[in-house]
Chains A and B, each alone.
Chain A
Amino acid sequence: MELSGGEILIEALKEEGVEFLFGYPGGAVLHIYDALYEQNSVKHILVRHEQGATHAADGYARATGKPGVVLVTSGPGATNAVTGIATAFMDSIPMVVLSGQVQSRFIGSDAFQEVDCVGITRPCVKHNFLVDSLENFAETMKKAFHVATTGRPGPVVVDIPKDFTAPGVTVPFNYPKTVNMRSYSPAEQGHPGQIRKAVDLILSAKRPMIYSGGGVVLGNAAAQLTEFTEMLGYPITQTLMGLGAFPASNKQNLGMLGMHGTYEANMAMHDCDVLIAIGARFDDRVTGEIESFCPNAKIVHVDVDPASISKNVTVDVPIVGNVTHVLDAMIALIKDTGKRADPADLAQWWATIKGWADTNCMAYQLDEKLIKPQAVIEALWRETNGDAYICSDVGQHQMWAAQFYGFDKPRRWINSGGLGTMGFGIPAAIGVQLAFPDEVVACVTGEASVQMCIQELSTAMQYSTPIKIISLNNRYMGMVRQWQEFNYDKRYSHSYMDALPDFVKLAESYGHVGMRIEKPGDVEGALKEAFAMKDRLVFMDFQTDQKENVYPMIEAGKGHHEMRLNPARELA
């Protein structure tokens, strides 16, 4: 079969089982768009800004586990996509970004809409390719999908000069079934000797702690993690990215750890004697001050990426491998040994943890007049039976969603953890809703974040994605305001959101439903009303307490055992 480059691209997407292509046309990809016009297998989603395309593809990938695919033009198309590529990179999300490039003979001549896309994206991709011939194009596409989805996943950019997609210039098309790259072979099985060492250490613990991260979600190992944790009876905490990999409602779960984690999770981290880190990368928001991180613990670390091991914290028993395989192997070995940690030690450890949990660190004080943001999230949980896909933007609302929406399943919590990209929420929610048209998808956001990709309300209209937007509007960049309150003597420099639009009218002007909720008593009813509109996007503008802060908190330079608790919790 002889095909043009544009046709090869489409055929490759079909071979890879791609359902959606999130994109925006432009000069350098016109040939590709012409090839798209001829087919119905791959559905193109026209976004309103290339950043939106990357976040939508990213949301799709996080919810489904399949790679998100993006098509943008050269120059500004590519640079607009960079924020979304970096977002996916920091959270290890599988994504393939196809970017147009000027004709190969013009590369380097400062041609119209030319940027060095491969150069610009290099530090924020897992790998990238500049297509150098039509003959190699199909193989390059195969490699891109292979690299993006295997090992520690990540975004891959394929930069495609326009002349290689021209109609009429054809080559024989054979899509490779497999790909062989001598320089790329991600780890699969963990080392048996290391697994044995780890199990010995795990079973000898007196004060064990399991700390799991996004790697468990990405590696589809939630079932294994749950079995492992339940068979051991150990306490477990998750990172922001790992929420849902172990059910929030399970009594062994101490909730999230780190900067805005629970008091009991952080205290247990500090006092544990064996720490079992699974698919987590010891991020600075998780560890707090490294000097006082888990001072008395031997550490086991399971990760697919060798570079994550002993990067920030030196570990005692590293295991490099696919988290599913390693957990399966550890479970089998623990069953074989028939041994368990000493029940008396474990009971005493749980009693200590219970003491910390009695602090009731998540308690907050309700108000008669002002809507408390935490209460909105709790009401959202009740309204959606704790089973919605929750996408979020970045800031206080993100932390409250993580703290107060108990996730019992993996891939339900979709947020930009690593890069912290404001504007992520709406496009990500669109991507999730496209993947699961019959599921409930909400976007928890704030009036600052939501304006960063607000134009995608138009995309949501065009493709009828009935997401529910829960905007916690406190008229501040809340997290910035909070840091200014704590660390800058309440000098609220440029964190006030002046001249806000009327979000109800804004939503309506895009053809959606807008609601403004001002009284605590109206929260429950408004949510009920909004979620009853199953086929409409509803923008809910909650006017919330401006002074509310995210607690508890580990401030900069402090350790897990030095949390700042909510002063109002005693009154709650």
Chain B
Amino acid sequence: MRRHVISVLLENESGALSRVSGLFSARGYNIESLTVAATHDPTLSRMTIVTIGTDRIVEQIIKQLNKLVDVVRLTDLTEVPFIEREIMMVKVRAVDAGRDELKRLTDIFRGHILDVTESSYVIELTGDDYKLSGFLDAIGRDNIIEAVRSGATGIARGDKSLKP
């Protein structure tokens, strides 16, 4: 079982997202996260799917995705050097001495404080899954009021690109 980040270019049409999500639920594939938005070309959406599976299952996922008529192209980013980024906003209890400690931790993780009240901060952080989870552990999960994560996006390093 290995984690894979699959990048999918698909027609920016209504229903395209449900074809992908429906495929995963119908065939019992796992989705860790799924993000999608239009690209610089408004006729195309780009989706990043994070899934965990054996090589055989991931091979099937890729083939089944390719088979969807709305899917233009896709690539398994984990097969090449790639950059993964996810954005997270977390609302934390921030009182007394804890306020300074949270500020320091945010700086160490290169995050930003977006909102401040007498008793809380909203902290923004970008990074890969490992970094974001690391931050949540560092600030102490008990202090978290709520957290929201965008799900991963990814792009290949170097000259490789995903084009129609």
Interface residues of A (CB under 8 A from B): 118-119, 122-123, 126-127, 130, 147, 181-184, 305-307, 309-311, 314
Is the C-beta of B67 less than 8 angstroms from some C-beta in chain A?
A: yes
Chain B: residues with Cβ within 8 Å of the partner, total of 20
Whether B60 sits at the interface, judged by CB under 8 Å, is yes
Min distance, Cβ A66 to any Cβ of chain B, angstroms: 21
Q: Please tell me which one of the listed residues A123, A184, A306 contacts residue B69 in the complex, with CB atoms under 8 A apart.
A: A184
| B3 touches A (CB below 8 Å) | no
- B112-127 Cβ-contact flags toward A at 8 Å (1 or 0): 0000000000000000
Q: Is residue B59 contacting chain A, with contact meaning CB distance below 8 A?
A: yes
Binding site secondary structure of chain B: helix
Closest to A122 in B: B22
The reply to whether A305 and B67 contact each other, CB–CB distance below 8 Å, is: yes
**Do B64 and A127 touch across chains, with their CB atoms under 8 A apart?**
no
Q: 1/0 per residue B49-75: CB within 8 Å of A? A: 000000010011001101101111000
Binds A, one of B11-19, B31-39, B86-94, B146-154: B11-19
The answer to whether B64 and A307 have CB atoms under 8 Å apart is yes
Is B60 within 8 A of A182, CB to CB? no
> Which residues on A sit within 8 Å (CB–CB) of B108?
none
Q: Given contacts A181-B69, A306-B63, list 4 more A-B pairs with CB under 8 A.
A: A119-B18, A183-B70, A306-B67, A314-B56
Q: Does B1 contact A (CB under 8 A)?
A: no
For residue A431, give the distance in angstroms from its CB to the closest CB of chain B.
26
**Which residues on the B side are within 8 Å of A307 (C-beta)?**
60, 63-64, 66-67
Question: With A and B bound together, what is the CA distance between A314 and B29 in angstroms?
Answer: 19
A318 to chain B, nearest CB (A): 11
Contacts of B72 in A (CB 8 A): 182-183
The 8 A-B residue pairs with the shortest CB-CB distance, nearest first, are A307-B63, A127-B69, A183-B72, A123-B26, A307-B67, A184-B69, A306-B63, A307-B64
Residue of B nearest to A183 (CB): B72
Is there an interface contact between B15 and A118, defined as CB atoms closer than 8 Å?
yes
Contact across chains for A182 and B56 when beta carbons are under 8 A apart: no
Q: Which residues of A contact B10 (CB under 8 A)?
A: 183
- Whether A122 and B60, one on each chain, are in contact in the complex, defined by CB atoms closer than 8 angstroms, is no
Q: List 15 A-B contacts (CB under 8 A).
A: A118-B15, A122-B15, A122-B18, A126-B69, A181-B69, A182-B72, A183-B11, A183-B69, A183-B72, A184-B69, A306-B63, A307-B63, A307-B67, A311-B63, A314-B56
A307 to B64, CA, bound (A): 6
Distance in Å from the Cβ of A250 to the closest Cβ of chain B? 34
A311 contact set on B, CB distance < 8 A: 60, 63
**B residues less than 8 Å from A309 (CB atoms):** 63
Q: State whether the Cβ of B164 lies closer than 8 Å to any Cβ in chain A.
A: yes
Q: Are A130 and B15 in contact (CB under 8 A)?
A: yes
Instruction: Judge whether B71 and A183 touch: CB under 8 Å.
Output: yes
Q: CB-nearest residue of chain A relative to B25?
A: A123
Contact between B18 and A310 (Cβ–Cβ < 8 Å)? no
Give the distance in Å from the alpha carbon of A311 to the alpha carbon of B63 in the complex. 10
| Most chain B CB inside 10 Å of its own CB: which residue of A119, A182, A314 | A182
Q: Which residues of B contact A130 (CB under 8 A)?
A: 14-15
Counting chain B CB atoms within 10 Å of each CB, the highest count among A130, A183, A184 belongs to A183
